[in-house]
Amino acid sequence: MYYKSLFASAILITYLLITGAAFLYTIGRFRIPLLPWPLIHVSYTLMAPYQGDVPWNGVFIAEGELPDGRWTPIPLESYFPFIRGEASVRMALHSFQKEDSPAFLYAKYRELALKLLEQERTKGNIFDHIRIIYRTWPRSPEGYRTLYKEPFFLRNELVTLVP
């Protein structure tokens, strides 16, 4: 009986050590050199919610320019009907960011804007131009949108489509 308990404790301690090492690597990119990387990597893949952790909040915004020159927001919820996190990942085009080419990513955002323009025109919205913006603002303990106001947010225009 004693050996079973000792063996179970050893497995539990090993698991916690490897998981803790993976968490340290995920948060601070600190590697414990004595532990084998393949074991840490298995736990690291389980840390997905923390791998992309950044000190700011962000939201994608699409706007269409009306014939009179005013820009109006285009609700993206119908195009990305997911929870906020997954919708943001899909709008960020993460699957194309592996190319590591700004020109390639710009072309993909342009393609997205073109499809968005086509869909909006079938809905009867006549836009002269469409732009996709990524707006960021600092995180706050008070809530997600607490600092979503001037002067806190930054605006990064990803693409402006001129058909």
Taking only the tens place, the pLDDT of each residue in 42-78 is 888 777 766 667 788 888 999 999 999 999 999 998 8
Report, in angstroms and rounded to the nearest whole number, the Rg of the chain calculated over CA atoms.
Answer: 22
CA 63 to CA 25: how far, in whole Å? Answer: 39
Position 47 scores a pLDDT of 77
Least confident of 8-22, 93-107, 109-123: 93-107
The answer to whether the CB of 65 falls within 8 A of the CB of 129 is: yes
Least confident of 9-13, 63-67, 152-156: 152-156
Least confident of 14-18, 33-37, 85-89: 85-89
Position 123 scores a pLDDT of 93
Position 135 scores a pLDDT of 92
Other C-beta atoms closer than 10 Å to the C-beta of 71 total: 14
| pLDDT tops 70 at residue 128 | yes
Note if the bond before 151 is cis, omega within 30 degrees. yes
| pLDDT tops 90 at residue 138 | yes
Note the pLDDT tens digit of each residue in 88-103. 878 888 777 666 678 8
Position 65 scores a pLDDT of 93
CA dist 12 to 2, 4, 20, 38, 44, Å?
A: 15, 12, 12, 18, 17
CA end-to-end distance (rounded Å), the chain:
76
- Judge residue 3's burial from the number of C-beta atoms within 10 Å of its C-beta, 0-12 exposed, 13-18 middle, 19 or more buried: exposed
CA 120 to CA 26: how far, in whole Å? Answer: 40
| pLDDT tops 70 at residue 9 | yes
> Which runs of E-coded beta strand occur in 17-102?
56-65, 71-74
